[in-house]
Chain A
Amino acid sequence: RKEVEQDPGPFNVPEGATVAFNCTYSNSASQSFFWYRQDCRKEPKLLMSVYSSGNEDGRFTAQLNRASQYISLLIRDSKLSDSATYLCVVSWGPGYALNFGKGTSLLVTP
């Protein structure tokens, strides 16, 4: 079983739609959680860290459920520029490797 599993995608949504990505992780000792965004043939860029209390950054909301080992990302009012691959990332904590999911592709259409 992979350590981090994501929705297979791809997700094709119209502009203005709300889209949600889900992710599960297998190691209950994990302490750090992130969503990264990766544009085609570019490096991953940190979108947001994910905290147990949930956190929001503009149109983006991330949630963590430690009991279910489940992470989510909600994007509201999708923009064309949101089209990218979204990577769910889990780590044991500072100084440890990042474990990436395979990524979920999002295409926002006019």
Chain B
Amino acid sequence: ETGVTQSPTHLIKTRGQQVTLRCSSQSGHNTVSWYQQALGQGPQFIFQYYREEENGRGNFPPRFSGLQFPNYSSELNVNALELDDSALYLCASSFIQLNNEQFFGPGTRLTVL
């Protein structure tokens, strides 16, 4: 096991609602990255947090936002949910000064109806 945990494991929301997903990183890691994985696709990078600041962002709209806390845990917030937001949301932790090996949590499966 990687030591990265995510909650909740599953979530069902309706269009227009807002959702918050949570991630606790592996002990000793200082960076958290979030990915979205649609069915049949590889994970797509949403953003990364380091020292409580966004440290890179993929091609996702501003309604996807995040936070990193002093203990390196993180939240992903999605506003105004759309049907296409249905996916597995993966959190990955790493130690930024190393070789970029990232370790994934089990993910949160979000269904938007």
Give the interface of A toward B (CB within 8 A): 4, 32, 34, 41-46, 49, 87, 91, 93-103
Contacts and interface: CB of A to CB of B under 8 A. Distances in A.
Interface string B95-113: 0111111111111010000
Contacts of B50: 95
A51 B40 CA distance: 28
B42 A101 contact: yes
B100 A94 contact: yes
A52 to B, nearest CB: 13
A94 B96 contact: yes
B29 to A, nearest CB: 12
B96 A44 contact: no
Classify chain B's interface size.
Answer: 20 to 34
B55 interface: yes
Nearest to B95: A94
Given A43-B107, A44-B43, A45-B104, A98 B99 contact: no
Nearest to B96: A95
B99 A95 contact: no
A46 B101 contact: yes
A49 B106 contact: no
Nearest first, the 9 A-B pairs at minimum CB distance are A100-B42, A97-B45, A43-B104, A94-B100, A32-B100, A95-B96, A100-B43, A102-B42, A91-B100
A94 B50 CA distance: 12
Nearest to A44: B104
Contacts of B2: 45
B105 A98 contact: no
Contact of A100 (B44, B96, B100, B105): B44
Nearest to B50: A95
Contacts of B8: none
Given A97-B33, A97-B48, A100-B43, A43 B106 contact: yes
A95 B90 contact: no
B46 to A, nearest CB: 9
